Amino acid sequence: MAYTISFNDVDLSTYGLYLSPSKIPYYPRTRISTAQPAFKDGSYFQNTNANGRDIDLTCSITAATNQALKNNLHTIMEILNVDTPKKLVLTDYKVTETAYDSSTSVVTPFWLALVDQNIDVSFLNKYVATLQISFFAPDPSAYGGEQTQAVGSIVVGANDVSVIAGGTTGAYPHITLTRTGATGGAAVSIRNANTAETISWNGTLEQNKSLIFYNSELWKVTNDSANDMSGVSGIFWALEGKATNTVTITTDFTGTASFNWYNRYR
């Protein structure tokens, strides 16, 4: 079966490139430990995570003329020449997901990856060439093809929000809190009961401005789009995969809350 590849939102079959077969290690080879930089209050945490995933692909490319083949190869090399991980999709590679309520759906996952080494090209004739491409995904898990969102309103005090995550492993949410009340001091605590972890922030939030917690490899909080880490303490937690997460948002202002994330697949 021939698969097509999309990289950085470009379908490479447009340039005659297909792959067959794909070789995706089901589990990464090693595990590594990483420590997050200490917060202002001196707290920190350490995660032990799976190492990045190698995705080795054998591809073929065809064209109507030798010059078209060379031009397509040149274009593909330019598309793949990135220095930060981009979305890699094997467009015919599907995952059947079973949700917590036993319902199923079929998703096309993607990895955030970049080319790990030189691309080997062999010309079979004037119109056909083969390529050996090795991608490296720093995050070994694949992401669901569509972003998921949960929204709700918040009042002064504790607000419980149910966030249903799919996938098979933890998902990293971006949590946006928008203040609708008057400008003033703000104390925020966001706790995931499923993981027993809490992230907190103290500072000033203006009316109709947003505070965003990037619970991902970014590990940051922005206040009206500007980095604001001075009042952060606790842990940037993940949603438990294939579960209903009970999240408690405790604030001293009124407004709205939204969670945005991609389900992740190990």
Q: Which pLDDT tens digit goes with each residue over 218-240? A: 689 999 999 999 899 999 999 99
List the structure tokens of 205. 């939030």
- CA–CA separation, 220 vs 216, rounded Å? 8
Spell out the domain ranges in the chain. Answer: 5-143, 148-265
Task: Say what the pLDDT of residue 152 is.
Answer: 86
Range 196-206 average pLDDT: 95
Q: Which pLDDT tens digit goes with each residue over 119-166? A: 999 999 999 999 999 999 988 888 887 788 888 899 999 999 999 998
Domain 148-265 listed as CATH 3.30.470.20: no
Task: Say what the pLDDT of residue 87 is.
Answer: 93
Task: Say what the pLDDT of residue 40 is.
Answer: 52
Whole-model pTM: value is 0.71
**Domains 5-143 and 148-265 belong to one CATH topology:** no
Q: How confident is the model at residue 175 (pLDDT cuts 50, 70, 90)?
A: very high
Bridge partners, 107 (sequence order): 95
Q: What is the CATH number of domain 5-143?
A: 2.40.30.200
Q: Which pLDDT tens digit goes with each residue over 53-104? A: 888 889 999 999 999 999 999 999 999 999 999 999 988 777 776 655 556 7
Of the candidates 158, 153, 148, which has an alpha carbon nearest to the alpha carbon of residue 259? Answer: 148
Task: Say what the pLDDT of residue 27 is.
Answer: 52
At residue 28, does pLDDT exceed 60?
Answer: no
Secondary structure tally for the chain: helices H, strands E: 1, 25
Q: How confident is the model at residue 44 (pLDDT cuts 50, 70, 90)?
A: very low
Rama region for 92: left / alpha / beta (φ>0; ψ in -120 to 50; rest): alpha
